[in-house]
């Protein structure tokens, strides 16, 4: 049993938040000689339960850090573990040394309740190491900082218990001065995987365990700067910055009169701003109604201040010095501040008096090899990839991040909703009114505010996620409002469990729904009944091939008052790199570590892979989030260029235009942009004459003029395309002859490996249904309904020909081109299909694709607004999703070619009725994709599988949110379509025929 606290069992008590933990404070700059990192390899032992940990495991001599692992008596496993790290996953590409694995659940807890009951097996890790400190430290206060431990932790120094803390996503600090000794010191940190606090950490993510953020020591003087609260406000009416610095001074003995604090403000280049300020430190604490703390407050006003925003993240450096009784400077620290003002007014979220578009995404901490132990480089890489795709706002779902995240957002320019580590999803509407958890609610939210309030990037405080709405929320909201009246509050559950118009206003200044329908947000905006802006905290669930109707959302958002955007769910797949016994390496999802219960691949719902490779939908995200748009003016003789930014003009971008005639670039040039103020639009003349013949498009592309922190010079920021003349018929390949040879053989017959067959089925996307979670889809009816309906109709295991009425004819012209005509009639009871089209196979030598349609990347009928019409070329797509499913479509194709680049042979598909179709060419059949549970199960075929679709169902976001909108469904019962299959030889390839 754990020494000192084992009999108390605080981890099982929701009321016990901490023992001996120091007050939270903002991160402060520390002289390097007084900072010592303890990150690295620690000796480690794992026990099955905290009661199994003998006192000797934490109070005996620190064991060495063996490599390879060696046994420790009484431990399940022993060896070494990295700090930061998670013992639940492999590290350094090797098998885990412990028998405790990641566990993924979404709503359900990984063990049965009710709260605060804990499982019989509760893995407990003991981290050990030694450290030494300079002799000078022994006469000062030494603090142990534990950056993050899942779930709870306790610490011992030289056999002395120094503290216990909860909240796995915020740091805990302990005064270890009394336990220190000269020379080597022993440190033990015990981390218990599950606790009473786990019930309010029930987020949609992997359950991990370990010291996942940094551990360090800090030496502080007897009288020290304990905290600095910086409020850098902007007076919007006159542009004056007002900086108020509240410096808390800590006294380790009786406070003395005469201590003062001086503050200085400068630009980041060191140029002084204003005059130095000075304030005395109150020392008379026994003064009722007068004493409010050992806090020195200075205030200065700055004229001509450069405000902070995500578009122009200007910061200033505030230097705070502590002056002793003799007038000597004993300590100095720094805080970086940004002047800005945030408010909710007139149904708008305003920054510096201006409404902003919330081009947002939700982000979890995740690295495929280190789990929750993300580095500064990981965070920066996430932010770079976000901004390259025009994402400028982040919700820290669903907990505070490491402080380096906020430092980077301040520096680089990102708007942040900072969210408290509170989610009781499995007990959604009960714990929020449970007084046993009231202290946890208040501590988790208030400590977040105390730590992060100096960051200009933090615009909004969030009270947590999916925890009902109750007394505990209102209590926390009241504390935050009193402590920080300069920021609005966010909590989705407050209006959700009441109403959008005036419900839950104590706890949320925003209407911030999850996955609302487009119609519902449009109604809220148009009604004008509510006083709060609507900003979706989660929308468009990016699970697999998803994010349909993003453009439809933003069409409504940008034209409806009261709507300002939202946060996509979510940034990154949470795949964990897993090394199997047969040498296979894969990115694993829920259940692939053998855990029960689990929620399968619901953890793979990111806009990028776990390795940060953008999924195809990211192109559509970048387009709907673009900072500038180009549309055709009402008179069709000009372009309307709209600046969607709130603070910058368009001088940092250059614009280029291309005139496309029948897909080919006929003219191009630079588009000269006039001065366009933020939130304004200007008409500019068309840069060219519209040709009298052919299908004509004008494409405008906006590029960065200079390199920035997120992209090189020339990076494509935004693009738009306007149709100037649309062809009425597909004349991409005129018929060479009129003689009809009926069903005579033609050139295409020698190439087809598999004949042309009717296809109504696609390998279901995650939005169509959860093929790996059949109980959710088939019994409980959760998620999209397409897959269940298609399977019941027999499409998964029967030829489409056997299920519907299909009439087809083929005619051959005098050049040997084959034209196919199909009529498909669906029975009345037949469900809406995924597609209506045909499929066939070509030999492996056809390795290139070329098409005149939307591209260049994969696109679908409800996710193609950012895909421009043109002539594109690529190899067949590789399957981009963690769980195999439908992929690789190109919509609105005027023609589509499969090319043998060696011989020059081309098979061209030319739709003749309708004049455009949707095409794809891959090395997998729909059956292959449906049968594979994970990407490593999928084996590419040699042949090329081609699909031609007269109709293809949209994607929607039905895995968590609205299904496909009616205009993107296939609701008709009869379909007719025609196309030609033409074999073209090498003499024509690349000859400029379109």
pLDDT per residue over 26-68, tens digit each?
A: 999 999 999 999 999 999 999 999 999 999 999 988 777 544 4
Per the structure block, which two tokens stand in for 214? 């940094």
Per the structure block, which two tokens stand in for 392? 């400028």
Q: Return the sign of the alpha-carbon dihedral for residues 376, 377, 378, 382.
A: positive
- 242-278: string of b/e by CB count within 10 Å (b at 16+)? bbebbbbbbbeeeeeeebbbbbbbeeeeeeebbeebe
Model confidence at 403: pLDDT above 90: yes
> Is 270 or 288 the better-scoring residue by pLDDT?
270
Largest Cα–Cα separation, the chain: 108
pLDDT at 287: 83
Q: Strand 354-355 vs strand 348-351: parallel, antiparallel, or unpaired?
A: antiparallel
In contact, 609 and 617? CB cutoff 8 Å: no
Q: pLDDT tens digits for 640-660?
A: 999 999 999 999 999 999 999
Which residue in the list 218, 419, 423, 466 is annotated as catalytic? 466
Q: pLDDT tens digits for 813-843?
A: 888 899 999 999 999 999 999 999 999 999 9
Which residue in the list 419, 492, 538, 858 is annotated as catalytic? 538
Q: Tell me, what DSSP letter sits at residue 240?
A: E
Question: What is the C-alpha separation between 899 and 853, in angstroms, rounded?
Answer: 16
Selection from 22, 14, 938 nearest residue 437 by Cα: 14
Give yes or no: 466 in active site.
yes
**In the structure, what pLDDT confidence band is assigned to residue 915 with cuts at 50, 70 and 90?**
very high
Question: What is the C-alpha separation between 497 and 494, in angstroms, rounded?
Answer: 6
- 578-588: string of b/e by CB count within 10 Å (b at 16+)? beeeeeeebbb
In contact, 871 and 629? CB cutoff 8 Å: no
pLDDT at 65: 59
In contact, 373 and 404? CB cutoff 8 Å: no
CB atoms within 10 A of CB 289: 5
In contact, 887 and 879? CB cutoff 8 Å: yes
Q: Would you list the DSSP string of 567-578?
A: EEE-SB---EEE
Q: pLDDT tens digits for 498-547?
A: 999 999 999 999 999 999 999 999 999 999 999 999 999 999 999 999 99
Mean per-residue pLDDT, 177-205: 97
Mean per-residue pLDDT, 393-415: 98
Question: What is the C-alpha separation between 403 and 379, in angstroms, rounded?
Answer: 11
Give every strand in the sheet of 160-165, ordered side by side.
18-19, 160-165, 152-157, 185-192, 124-131, 40-47, 77-83
Per the structure block, which two tokens stand in for 790? 């298609």
- Residue 470: phi and psi, rounded to 5, are -155, -165
Q: Would you list the DSSP string of 913-958?
A: ESS-EEEEEESS-HHHHHH-SSGGG----SSEEEEEEEEE---TTT
How many alpha carbons lie under 13 Å from residue 740 in its C-beta half-sphere?
Answer: 6
DSSP three-state, residue 548:
coil
Task: State what percent of residues in the chain have pLDDT above 90.
Answer: 88
Helix axes 376-388, 403-412, angle to 10 degrees: 40
- Residue 657: phi and psi, rounded to 5, are -125, 150
Q: Return the sign of the alpha-carbon dihedral for residues 365, 366, 372, 373.
A: negative
**In the structure, what pLDDT confidence band is assigned to residue 635 with cuts at 50, 70 and 90?**
confident
Selection from 644, 657, 642 nearest residue 703 by Cα: 657
Q: Strand 393-395 vs strand 415-419: parallel, antiparallel, or unpaired?
A: parallel
3-state DSSP: the chain helix, strand, coil percent, rounded to 5? 15, 35, 50
Q: Strand 393-395 vs strand 358-362: parallel, antiparallel, or unpaired?
A: parallel
pTM for this entry: 0.95
Residue with tokens 């099955």: 48
Selection from 364, 266, 376 nearest residue 320 by Cα: 266
Selection from 948, 568, 926 nearest residue 768 by Cα: 926
Selection from 71, 52, 51 nearest residue 63 by Cα: 71
Task: State what percent of residues in the chain have pLDDT above 70.
Answer: 95
In contact, 482 and 515? CB cutoff 8 Å: no
Selection from 572, 643, 649 nearest residue 383 by Cα: 572
Mean per-residue pLDDT, 125-147: 96
**In the structure, what pLDDT confidence band is assigned to residue 76 with cuts at 50, 70 and 90?**
very low
Question: What is the C-alpha separation between 628 and 701, in angstroms, rounded?
Answer: 10
Q: What is the mean pLDDT of the chain?
A: 93
CB atoms within 10 A of CB 872: 19
Question: What is the C-alpha separation between 205 and 196, in angstroms, rounded?
Answer: 18
> Is 113 or 263 the better-scoring residue by pLDDT?
263
């Amino acid at each position: 049993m754990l020494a000192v606290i084992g009999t108390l069992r605080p981890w099982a008590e929701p009321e016990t938040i901490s023992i001996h933990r120091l007050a939270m404070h903002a991160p402060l700059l520390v002289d390097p000689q007084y900072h010592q990192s303890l990150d690295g390899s620690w000796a480690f032992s794992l026990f099955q339960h905290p009661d199994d940990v003998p006192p000797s495991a934490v109070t005996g001599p620190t064991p060495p850090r063996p490599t390879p692992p060696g046994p420790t008596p009484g431990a399940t496993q022993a060896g070494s573990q990295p700090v930061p790290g998670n013992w639940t996953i492999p590290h350094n590409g090797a098998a885990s040394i412990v028998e405790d694995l990641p566990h993924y659940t979404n709503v359900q807890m990984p063990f049965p309740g009710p709260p605060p009951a804990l499982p019989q097996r509760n893995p407990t890790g003991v981290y050990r190491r030694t450290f030494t400190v300079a002799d000078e430290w022994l006469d000062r206060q030494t603090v142990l900082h534990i950056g993050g431990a899942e779930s709870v932790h306790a610490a011992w120094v030289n056999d002395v218990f120094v503290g216990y803390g909860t909240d796995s996503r915020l740091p805990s600090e302990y005064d270890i001065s009394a336990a220190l000794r000269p020379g080597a010191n022993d440190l033990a940190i015990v981390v218990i995987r599950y606790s009473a606090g786990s019930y309010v950490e029930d987020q949609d993510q992997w359950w991990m365990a370990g010291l996942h953020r940094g551990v360090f020591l800090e030496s502080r003087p007897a009288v020290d700067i304990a905290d600095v609260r910086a409020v850098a406000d902007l007076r919007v009416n006159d542009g004056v910055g007002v900086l108020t610095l509240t410096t808390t001074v800590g006294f380790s003995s009786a406070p003395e009169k005469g201590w003062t604090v001086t503050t200085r403000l400068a630009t980041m280049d060191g140029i002084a701003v204003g005059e130095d300020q000075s304030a005395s430190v109150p020392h008379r604490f026994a003064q009722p109604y007068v004493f409010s703390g050992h806090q020195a407050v200075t205030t200065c006003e700055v004229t001509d201040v450069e405000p902070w925003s995500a578009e122009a993240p200007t910061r200033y450096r505030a230097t705070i010095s502590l002056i002793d009784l003799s007038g000597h400077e004993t300590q100095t620290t720094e805080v970086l501040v940004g002047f800005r003002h945030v408010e909710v007014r007139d149904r708008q979220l305003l920054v510096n008096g201006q409404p902003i578009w919330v081009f947002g995404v939700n982000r979890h901490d995740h690295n495929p090899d280190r789990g929750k132990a993300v580095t500064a480089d990981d965070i920066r890489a996430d932010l770079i990839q976000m901004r390259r795709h025009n994402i400028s706002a982040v919700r820290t779902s669903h907990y505070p991040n490491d402080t380096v995240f906020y430092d980077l957002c301040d520096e680089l320019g990102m708007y942040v909703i900072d969210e408290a580590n509170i989610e009781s999803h499995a007990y959604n509407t009960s714990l929020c009114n449970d007084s046993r958890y009231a202290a946890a609610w208040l501590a988790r939210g208030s400590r977040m505010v105390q730590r992060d309030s100096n960051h200009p990037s933090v615009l909004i405080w969030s009270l947590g996620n999916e925890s009902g709405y109750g007394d505990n929320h209102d209590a926390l909201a009241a504390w935050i409002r009193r402590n920080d009246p300069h920021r609005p509050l966010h909590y989705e559950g407050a209006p959700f469990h009441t109403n959008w118009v005036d419900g839950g206003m104590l706890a949320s200044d925003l209407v911030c729904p999850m996955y609302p329908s487009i119609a519902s947000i449009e109604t809220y905006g148009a009604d004008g009944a509510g006083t709060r802006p609507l900003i979706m905290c989660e929308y468009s669930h990016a699970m697999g091939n998803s994010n349909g109707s993003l453009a439809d959302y933003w069409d409504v958002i940008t034209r409806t008052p009261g709507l300002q955007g939202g946060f996509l769910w979510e940034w990154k797949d949470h795949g964990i790199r897993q090394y199997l016994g047969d040498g296979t390496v894969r990115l694993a999802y829920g259940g692939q570590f053998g855990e029960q219960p689990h929620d399968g691949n619901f953890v793979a719902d990111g806009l990028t892979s776990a390795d940060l490779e953008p999924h195809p939908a990211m192109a559509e995200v970048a387009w709907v989030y673009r900072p500038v748009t180009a549309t055709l003016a009402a008179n069709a003789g000009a372009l309307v260029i709209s600046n969607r930014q709130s603070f910058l003009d368009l001088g940092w971008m250059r614009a280029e235009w291309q005139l496309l005639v029948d897909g080919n670039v006929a003219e191009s040039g630079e588009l000269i942009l006039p001065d366009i103020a933020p939130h304004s639009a200007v008409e500019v003349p068309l840069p060219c004459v519209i040709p009298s013949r052919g299908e004509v498009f004008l494409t405008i592309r906006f590029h960065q003029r200079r390199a920035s922190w997120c992209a090189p010079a020339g990076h494509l920021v935004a693009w738009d395309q306007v149709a100037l003349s649309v062809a009425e018929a597909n004349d991409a390949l005129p018929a060479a002859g009129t003689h009809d040879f009926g069903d005579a053989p033609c050139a295409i017959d020698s190439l087809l490996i598999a004949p042309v067959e009717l296809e109504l089925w696609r390998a279901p996307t995650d939005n169509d249904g959860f093929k790996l979670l059949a109980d959710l889809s088939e019994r409980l009816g959760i998620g999209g309904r397409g897959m269940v309906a298609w399977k019941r109709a027999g499409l998964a295991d029967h030829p489409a020909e056997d299920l519907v009425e299909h009439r087809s004819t083929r005619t051959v012209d005098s050049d040997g081109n084959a034209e196919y005509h199909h009529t498909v009639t669906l029975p009345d009871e037949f469900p809406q299909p995924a597609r209506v089209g045909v499929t066939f196979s070509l030999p492996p030598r056809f390795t290139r694709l070329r098409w005149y349609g939307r591209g260049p990347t994969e696109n679908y009928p409800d996710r193609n607004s950012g895909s421009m019409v043109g002539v594109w070329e690529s190899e067949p797509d590789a399957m981009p999703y963690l769980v195999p499913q439908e992929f690789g479509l190109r919509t609105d194709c005027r023609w589509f070619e499969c090319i043998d680049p060696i011989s020059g042979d081309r098979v061209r598909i030319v739709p003749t009725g309708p004049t455009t179709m949707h095409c794809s060419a891959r090395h997998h059949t729909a059956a292959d994709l449906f049968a594979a549970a994970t990407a490593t199960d999928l084996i590419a075929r040699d042949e090329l599988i081609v699909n031609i679709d007269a109709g293809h169902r949209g994607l929607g976001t039905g895995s968590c949110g609205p299904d496909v909108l009616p205009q993107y469904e296939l609701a008709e019962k009869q379909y007719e379509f025609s196309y030609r299959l033409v074999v073209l030889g090498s003499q024509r390839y690349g000859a400029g025929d379109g």
